[in-house]
Structure 1
């Protein structure tokens, strides 16, 4: 496809807002015991900003156009495995998928994108804190139902556009579409298959046994922790994407 024709298509597709949502401070009860918390205890989460949507293929294309060292075929194997941007033909996303979440990206490339935007990857505690907030008028059981339904259904060959699942803060698609990188993805201690499984895609559905779990009935969190513990920073996968976060500046949060 002609590169300029592809860029022209970008100008006429319906735009997706790249706004960030201000997340209020609160408390979060981690699935696993954290180093600075007691088993069953809660952690304080400071207010921060989180992208409203996962990063899309359109947004990521703009990033690699400005940073050609991250183009498909140019990235060192130290920073991304051979599956990097594996669903991009002609080294660009398909024109009908530009508002789908970008996947097949490594932690290193996701981190570079966020830094390019003047942001950062969210911490695991921040991502989980927001992900635990149900849609308006719903409860946490509804959230778990969405997650478990996604785990059990056949995954689409091509991901839909972002904007399907919305929580009570206005953050979209943390559940029911993709997994997402977090900054400290490998800080979890687990045992079991997840560290030994060499088939990354199959590990999406095989959580390992957890240590010091606060709630063994929370199967959805169990799966996420097991999956993260088996990742390496250069891994890429078909349903693994990301979004960015940002700290609250003093001028944005007056006393």
Structure 2
């Protein structure tokens, strides 16, 4: 499948600290936020469905790539938390490391190997390098790392409400960013797991790990990869009961929570255990953690 391309749009590339990713203007509007199908996990707090009004803002067409993140670290000397911790979780089928560098597995998720030397520049372990896949989304970045990048680029992370509104692409009440069918007319629209998780990925969508950004058709707003590929950090704190109290205009998330919000799912999502590639799906993680399936895209407030 050929990478999708969109029309030219204003970017930050020509501004000091700009990061060179195409952006689109997401128009102001209202939408029904949350899970209208009853398919979410109760602990994730995807209900009640509620009307939210969003002001216009700008959002990157794709997640930040290895190439762009390398430019950031070269310009600033920034070291990510995975680099400072000297290890990070890598999915077991993708690991490229000597056995001595495998420090253990994650409790309750034995498919995650904690690998010494895994970080954004070595996404599968010390025997890999970002330059082998420059147009893939950067991974092994924490929420704190994403914030540092945003400060350099003069941008910000999207709020969770902005993210869902943009991911819906102008569609109303649909399950996915493109409609209600996962593979309309047999066409794969996102990079998720096929086969038997976690041991056999048939790669029917063409990818076992991450895919180059914009490998699948964009949604109605011209945004790529709003489902699958990598989880994307949002600005908000996560709390499963927030929807009960959320304001109806430009909600910014609760004042505290159980980690930071993640949206979109990843290449590891599979309906046997994690159907969070649905547009309403939510997840979270501590702001100082990272893994081989978490990345981010940036937003800009319009003035």
- The TM-score bracket by the shorter chain reads 0.5 to 0.7
**Matched residues, number:** 203
The alpha-carbon deviation at position 26 of structure 1 amounts to: 0.8
The alpha-carbon deviation at position 69 of structure 1 amounts to: 3.1
1:75 to 84, 107, 132: 84
Matches of 2:165 and 2:139 in 1, distance apart? 23
In structure 1, the residue matched to 2:148 is: 112
In structure 1, the residue matched to 2:138 is: 102
Distance 1:148 1:74, change over 3 A: closer
Matches of 1:69 and 1:240 in 2, distance apart? 18
Matches of 2:169 and 2:23 in 1, distance apart? 16
Matches of 2:193 and 2:148 in 1, distance apart? 32
In structure 2, the residue matched to 1:159 is: 210
2:298 to 233, 239, 244: 244
Distance 1:69 1:124, change over 3 A: same
In structure 1, the residue matched to 2:232 is: 180
In structure 1, the residue matched to 2:27 is: 24
Distance 1:71 1:31, change over 3 A: closer
Does structure 1 retain, via aligned residues, the 8 Å contact 2:28–2:56? yes
Distance 1:237 1:129, change over 3 A: same
Does structure 2 retain, via aligned residues, the 8 Å contact 1:121–1:244? yes
More RCO (CA 8 Å, sep 6+): 1
2:64 to 51, 55, 63: 55
Are 2:205 and 1:169 aligned?
Answer: no
The alpha-carbon deviation at position 51 of structure 1 amounts to: 0.6
TM-score by length of 2: 0.55
The alpha-carbon deviation at position 242 of structure 1 amounts to: 0.4
Unaligned runs of 5+ in 1: 1-15, 196-200, 209-217, 250-255
The alpha-carbon deviation at position 73 of structure 1 amounts to: 6.6
The alpha-carbon deviation at position 68 of structure 1 amounts to: 1.6
Matches of 1:111 and 1:175 in 2, distance apart? 22
The alpha-carbon deviation at position 157 of structure 1 amounts to: 4.6
Distance 1:176 1:41, change over 3 A: closer
Unaligned runs of 5+ in 2: 1-18, 37-46, 90-113, 195-200, 243-257, 259-265
* 3-state secondary structure, aligned to 1:182: strand
TM-score by length of 1: 0.64
Are 2:293 and 1:235 aligned?
Answer: no
Greater strand percent: which structure?
Answer: 2
Are 2:55 and 1:46 aligned?
Answer: yes
The alpha-carbon deviation at position 48 of structure 1 amounts to: 0.1
Matches of 1:128 and 1:160 in 2, distance apart? 22
Does structure 2 retain, via aligned residues, the 8 Å contact 1:49–1:247? yes
The alpha-carbon deviation at position 122 of structure 1 amounts to: 0.3
Matches of 1:91 and 1:183 in 2, distance apart? 33
* 3-state secondary structure, aligned to 1:101: coil
Does structure 2 retain, via aligned residues, the 8 Å contact 1:134–1:143? no
